[in-house]
């Protein structure tokens, strides 16, 4: 039963819903690991003195990684 202020899904009433909740939890844990890794890399690049400062103005690579996924879709 769902309650006020509940942050998660309500209790599953079928095996399909149980599998959907399991998949959601699994996908969110993977997404959180990726976000934490990206945050770590971002902080590492911001505070490191060994970064390539010419990489900041990489407009060509930004155009490439914007257009290539559009071609696939």
44 lies in some domain: yes
Which band of pLDDT confidence, cut at 50, 70 and 90, is reported for residue 54?
low
Q: Is residue 32 part of a domain?
A: yes
C-alpha distances (whole Å) from 44 to each of 4, 18, 34, 40, 66 are: 40, 39, 15, 6, 25
CB 58 within 8 A of CB 52: no
Instruction: Answer whether 10's CB lies under 8 Å from 2's CB.
Output: yes
pLDDT at 8: 73
pLDDT value, residue 28 = 92
Give per-residue pLDDT as tens, 4-48. Answer: 777 777 778 899 988 998 998 899 999 999 999 999 988 887 887
8 A C-beta contact, residue 1 and residue 10: yes
Domain boundaries, position 44: 14-50
pTM: 0.57
User: Is residue 2 included in any domain, yes or no?
Assistant: no
- For the chain, the domain total comes to 1
Confidence at 55, pLDDT banded by 50, 70, 90: low
């Amino acid at each position: 039963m769902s309650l006020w202020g509940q942050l998660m899904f309500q209790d599953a009433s079928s095996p399909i819903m149980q599998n959907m909740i399991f998949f959601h939890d699994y996908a969110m844990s993977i997404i959180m690991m990726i976000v934490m890794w990206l945050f770590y890399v971002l902080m590492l690049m911001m505070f490191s003195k060994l970064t390539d400062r010419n990489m900041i103005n990489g407009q060509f690579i930004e155009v490439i990684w914007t257009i290539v996924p559009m071609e696939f879709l």
